[in-house]
């Protein structure tokens, strides 16, 4: 009986009946939530950009954007263990940057650890270390990768 229970706990998230309809990121809590119909399906610890307070203003500020975006494409062969692109900058972000005379930046992703360094995630995930991306352990990134389809909205709050 115990073996059957353990196998049920290890079923991939994709096998669940409810599809993920929102990825919700709480920057201050350093948590990413996979949501369906307003309910949390899974929750993960994350690391953010080195300068996490506030909305991303420009390229190089090392901030993670805030707001509502889409997860618009996937990259299995990135420098990090799997990457899902966040549609930052949007039109408003580009216009604000243009008015300030700066580039808004881009290439903001949800991703795992740098390739070859996944074994260090118990240390790296204890602090913010990205250039503005949202980082997970490789195992957690595998779950997110399998659960989230292209076009899923992501909401990032302070």
Domain assignments of the chain as residue spans, ordered by start: 2-157
Single pTM value for the model: 0.85
Q: What is the mean pLDDT of each run of 10 residues along the chain (158 residues)?
A: 42 64 98 97 96 90 96 93 96 95 95 85 87 96 97 98
DSSP for 28-95 reads TTTEEEEEETTEEEEEEE-B-BSS-SS---STTS-PPP-EEEEEEEEETTSSBS-EEEE--S-HHHHH
Question: Taking the CB of residue 92, how many other CB atoms lie within 10 A of it?
Answer: 10
Measured CA distances, 4 to 17, 41, 42, 122, 143 (Å)? 19, 21, 21, 29, 21
Per-residue pLDDT at 10: 46
Domain 2-157 has CATH 2.40.440.10: yes
CA dihedral 136, 139, 141, 145 (to 10 degrees): -170
Q: What is the DSSP letter of 27?
A: T
Per-residue pLDDT at 9: 44
């Amino acid at each position: 009986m115990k073996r059957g229970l353990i196998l049920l706990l290890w079923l991939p998230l994709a096998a669940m009946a409810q599809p993920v309809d929102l990825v919700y990121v709480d920057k201050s809590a350093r948590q990413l939530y996979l949501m369906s119909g307003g309910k949390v399906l899974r929750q993960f610890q994350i690391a953010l950009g080195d300068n996490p307070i506030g909305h991303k203003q420009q390229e190089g500020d090392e901030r993670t954007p805030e707001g509502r975006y889409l997860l618009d494409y996937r990259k299995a062969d990135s420098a990090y263990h799997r990457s899902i692109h966040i549609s930052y900058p949007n039109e408003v972000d580009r216009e604000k940057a243009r008015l300030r005379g700066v580039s808004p930046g881009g290439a903001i992703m949800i991703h795992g650890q740098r390739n070859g360094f996944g074994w260090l995630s118990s240390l790296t995930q204890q602090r913010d270390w990205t250039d503005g991306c949202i980082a997970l352990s490789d195992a957690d990134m595998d779950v997110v990768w399998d659960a989230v389809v292209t076009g899923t909205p992501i909401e990032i709050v302070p």
